[in-house]
Structure 1
Amino acid sequence: MEKYTIGEFAKKVGLTSYTLRYYENQKLIMPKRDRHQRRYYTDEDIKWLGFLLCLKNTGMTMFEMSRYVELRSQGDSTMHERKKLLSQVKERSEQQVKEIQDNLKVVEHKIDWYDGRINFQINEDFESYLNRFNQGDD
């Protein structure tokens, strides 16, 4: 079993030692201790932190992450609660993705509008140009 110091672990996972200590204080990660009480991490910790970062990147709050970790530590009897929490985060993330996609459509239309103006193919203002596309969304 490979053992990593906090500095080595920080490099492996792309975080700072400060962030790792914060996650430890929040009880999201639990490093092991050697006989001198120095913390160390293993490859299993890398996998666990990877999953936590995935959750964080979906927009899961620290409170939600802490709740998930707490439920996980209680064992299989909390699977339904964990699934419900993850489902809520997934639904919220999907809504955010939809909003981003809607905003990207406007940006794409703006780019197309610029192309048309630059090439003298469009002579209307952007609002009028955009309204032509939005009429089909009703």
Structure 2
Amino acid sequence: MRIEEVSKKFSISSPTIRYYEQEGLLGPIKRINGVRDFSSHDLERLDFILCTKKCGMPLKQIHHFIDIYEQGDETIPERLAILREQLVKTKSALDELTQSMDYLQNKIKTVEKLAASHPTN
């Protein structure tokens, strides 16, 4: 799959994909006549990068995870610890966002009631 297709599939820019490759998070990506040709393995790796990034994992930690993943099965306990720690952090962030959303929904209801009792014009 070419970089333009990958960019569209994951809704990220081509320069971002190139950056991930340059930083060693992806690849090296196989090239055909100088054009990147992403394999299913590359796409799975990119999906992992984007998912963990959305969950708040810093790129440095994602890079570390990928490095130890490539070292083999002896790193499974460390990988599990990293993923579990990130899950706890993500759940905490979600709880905070849920509280903020609840607050905003209540505030909206209050302001809507005010707007209904004070019609303009």
Match of 2:56 in 1: 59
Aligned mate of 2:31, from 26, 30, 33 = 33
Report how far residue 107 of structure 1 moved: 1.0
Is 1:46 aligned with 2:43? yes
- Paired with 2:82 and 2:75, the residues of 1 have a C-alpha distance of 11
RMSD: 1.9
Aligned-pair identity in percent equals 28
Match of 1:128 in 2: none
Residue identity matched to 2:8: K
Aligned mate of 2:106, from 88, 98, 109 = 109
- Paired with 2:5 and 2:98, the residues of 1 have a C-alpha distance of 38
Using a 3 Å threshold, how does the CA distance of structure 1 residues 110 and 37 change in structure 2: closer, same or farther?
closer
- Paired with 1:56 and 1:47, the residues of 2 have a C-alpha distance of 14
- Paired with 1:73 and 1:28, the residues of 2 have a C-alpha distance of 11
- Paired with 1:112 and 1:14, the residues of 2 have a C-alpha distance of 34
Report how far residue 78 of structure 1 moved: 0.5
Is 1:69 aligned with 2:66? yes
5+ residue gaps, structure 2, are none
Report how far residue 84 of structure 1 moved: 0.7
Contact 1:5 1:39 in 2 (8 A): yes
TM-score for both structures, normalised by structure 2 = 0.82
5+ residue gaps, structure 1, are 121-138
TM-score for both structures, normalised by structure 1 = 0.73
Report how far residue 93 of structure 1 moved: 1.1
Contact 1:58 1:93 in 2 (8 A): yes
Aligned mate of 2:93, from 88, 92, 96 = 96
Moved over 6 A (4+): none
Match of 2:15 in 1: 18
Equivalent residue pairs, number: 116
- Paired with 1:102 and 1:14, the residues of 2 have a C-alpha distance of 29
